[in-house]
């Protein structure tokens, strides 16, 4: 044994020495250009937009919206027409202030609010105003089919041929767990995909689990979904596969698989089915699935209550009227936005429109209505005022859209996170 250890040590030392040569060459070839802070105008910006980008850097403001207002105009003209684009942009300017964005929830990845001209599409607003409308053109519908349906593609490479020397992965199970637990997931992937193992459900599960840990969800889903029901890992793989499918935007095939499931986790099945029903905007399916809720298992009770709350908020409360929001903003600028649930935007709109109105009134009184010093602020005030009405009409749809997005995130969370406790 001692001799074997010495052989290993010599080999190790040899490889180690080989690997550590060439330091100066590495220093010579190193490239750090990726670390330089580069300031470039947004992709696709024309001359005017590049000039505005240069100017914008010298001015303050939240600048939270993506695309930035100076890029938004051209896109909006292209997508919703010139006049709506003018009013949509003016509404966006009214909202894009410190007060206006106080309650906004930026994207956690880049800290910005992603809202393009499609938010101001009247067609979309009509689709959104009816919460129970299963129209697939809405945000939920647009997500459908984004990812691959579970098990729809042939799972090439899942079952590989093996050499006679191949061994069972169960012999390496502890080592794989050690690699994953010690944040050496890439090593685990290398072992499982580079090693010569006998095909087995355990191997398929471990591959899927490692890819899931590496957040390579599409591939993880293929492997987790391919674990057979005879495996000891079937239930864990099955429910994680459903959760991963949901994150990939497939809400249909996992629900069908769940309906056919008859294993020991009936309540968990109910939670996931209820979540998928909400993601598909199907209140009847939710009521049916929620019948399995027992509220007494601490691992699932929180998720069950939160799904119930989302259901109640979405279907049991009266919907807000875009027309009423527009009328309220016509009466007092910003009031419609407050009605739609956007207090900060309402106050911001009121202050800016009011300030422009005050400037116009001062010039009207001192210079008369025909003086250019009155006409210029009056035109600007008019655009902002109409933009405020238009924006308030749309804000119900935008609010619903943001609400649905937030609810979707909450539902995804609630069909995923309890799995960690259940399959600890």
Partner 1 sequence: MHRKRLFCTISIFLCALFSSRAQNLDSLAVGYERIVFEGAGLAETNDALLAKAGCYKQLGRYRDASATLARVRLFALSPEERTAVQYQQELCWFLAGDFKQAASLIEEVGDGSSDALLLHALALAYNGQYDESEIYAARFISWDGPSERLPELLALYASHPRVPDATTSMVLSFFPPLGHFYNGEIGEGLLSGSLNLAALAFTVANFVSGYWVTGLIGGGIALNYTYMGNLQRTSALVEKHRVNDPIAFGDKLRSFLLQ
Can you give the binding site for partner 1, defined by CB under 8 A? 1, 4-5, 7-9, 11-13, 15-16, 18-20, 23-24, 26-28, 30, 32-37, 39, 54-55, 57-61, 175, 178-179, 184, 186-187, 190-191, 194-195, 355, 358-359, 361-363, 366, 377
- A 10 A CB-CB count for 25 gives 9
- Please identify, using beta-carbon distances, which residue of 247 and 373 lies nearer to partner 1: 373
- Please identify, using beta-carbon distances, which residue of 28 and 317 lies nearer to partner 1: 28
Residues counted in the chain: 424
Q: Mind giving me the DSSP string for 362-408? A: HHHHHH-TTSHHHHHHHHHHHHHHHHHHHHHHHHHHHHHHHHHHHHH
- Please identify, using beta-carbon distances, which residue of 62 and 257 lies nearer to partner 1: 62
Q: Give the residues across from 65 on adjacent strands.
A: 113
- Please identify, using beta-carbon distances, which residue of 145 and 357 lies nearer to partner 1: 357
Smallest gap, in angstroms, from Cβ of residue 196 to partner 1?
Answer: 9
The Cβ-side half-sphere exposure at 405, using a 13 Å CA radius, reads: 16
CA–chain centroid gap for 19, Å, is 42
CA–chain centroid gap for 69, Å, is 22
- Please identify, using beta-carbon distances, which residue of 216 and 405 lies nearer to partner 1: 216
Smallest gap, in angstroms, from Cβ of residue 290 to partner 1?
Answer: 45
Smallest gap, in angstroms, from Cβ of residue 2 to partner 1?
Answer: 10
Q: CA 38 → CA 33, 34, 41, 51, 182, distances in Å?
A: 10, 9, 10, 17, 36
Q: Mind giving me the DSSP string for 315-336? A: IISPPPPHHHHHHHHHHSTTHH
- Please identify, using beta-carbon distances, which residue of 8 and 417 lies nearer to partner 1: 8
Smallest gap, in angstroms, from Cβ of residue 209 to partner 1?
Answer: 17
Smallest gap, in angstroms, from Cβ of residue 63 to partner 1?
Answer: 10
Smallest gap, in angstroms, from Cβ of residue 214 to partner 1?
Answer: 14
In eight-state DSSP terms, residue 209 is H
Smallest gap, in angstroms, from Cβ of residue 13 to partner 1?
Answer: 6
The answer to whether residues 88 and 75 touch, using CB atoms and an 8 Å cutoff, is: no
In eight-state DSSP terms, residue 197 is B
CA–chain centroid gap for 241, Å, is 19
- Please identify, using beta-carbon distances, which residue of 110 and 316 lies nearer to partner 1: 110
- Please identify, using beta-carbon distances, which residue of 196 and 312 lies nearer to partner 1: 196
Smallest gap, in angstroms, from Cβ of residue 397 to partner 1?
Answer: 29
Helices 298-311 and 266-279: crossing angle, nearest 10°? 20
């Amino acid at each position: 044994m001692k001799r074997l250890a010495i052989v290993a040590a010599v080999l190790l030392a040899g490889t180690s020495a080989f690997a550590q040569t060439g330091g100066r060459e590495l220093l010579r070839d190193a490239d750090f250009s990726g670390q330089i802070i580069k300031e470039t105008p947004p992709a696709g910006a024309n001359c005017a937009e590049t000039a505005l980008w240069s100017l914008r850097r010298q001015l303050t403001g939240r600048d939270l919206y993506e695309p930035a207002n100076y890029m938004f105009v051209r896109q909006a003209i292209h997508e919703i027409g010139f006049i709506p684009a003018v009013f949509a942009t003016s509404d966006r300017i009214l909202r894009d202030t410190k007060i206006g964005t106080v309650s906004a929830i930026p994207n956690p990845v880049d800290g910005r609010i992603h809202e393009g001209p499609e938010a101001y599409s009247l067609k979309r607003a009509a689709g959104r105003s009816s919460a129970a409308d299963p129209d697939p053109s809405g945000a939920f519908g647009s997500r459908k089919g984004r990812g691959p349906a579970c098990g729809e593609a042939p799972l090439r490479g899942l079952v590989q041929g093996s050499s006679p020397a191949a061994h069972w992965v169960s012999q390496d199970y502890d080592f794989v767990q050690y690699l994953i637990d010690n944040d050496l997931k890439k090593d685990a992937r290398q072992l499982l995909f580079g090693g010569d193992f006998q095909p087995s459900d355990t191997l398929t599960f471990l591959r899927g689990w490692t890819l899931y840990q590496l957040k390579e969800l599409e591939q993880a889903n293929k492997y987790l979904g391919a674990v057979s029901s005879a495996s000891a890992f079937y239930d864990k793989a099955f429910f994680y596969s459903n959760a991963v499918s949901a994150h990939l935007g497939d809400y249909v095939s996992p629900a069908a698989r769940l309906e056919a499931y008859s294993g020991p986790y009936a309540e968990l099945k109910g939670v996931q089915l209820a979540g998928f029903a909400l993601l598909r905007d199907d209140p009847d399916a939710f009521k049916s699935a929620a019948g399995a809720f027992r509220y007494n298992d601490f691992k699932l009770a929180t998720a069950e209550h939160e799904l119930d709350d989302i259901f109640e908020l979405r279907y049991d409360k009266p919907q807000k009227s875009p027309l009423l929001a527009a009328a309220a903003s016509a009466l007092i600028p910003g009031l419609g936005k407050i009605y739609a649930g956007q207090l900060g935007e309402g106050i911001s709109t009121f202050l800016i429109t009011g300030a422009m109105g005050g400037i116009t009134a001062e010039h009207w009184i001192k210079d008369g209505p025909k003086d250019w010093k009155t006409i210029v602020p009056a035109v600007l005030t008019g655009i902002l005022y109409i933009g405020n009405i238009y924006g308030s009409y749309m804000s119900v749809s935008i609010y619903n859209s943001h609400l649905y997005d937030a609810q979707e995130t909450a539902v995804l969370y609630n069909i995923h996170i309890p799995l960690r406790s259940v399959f600890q």
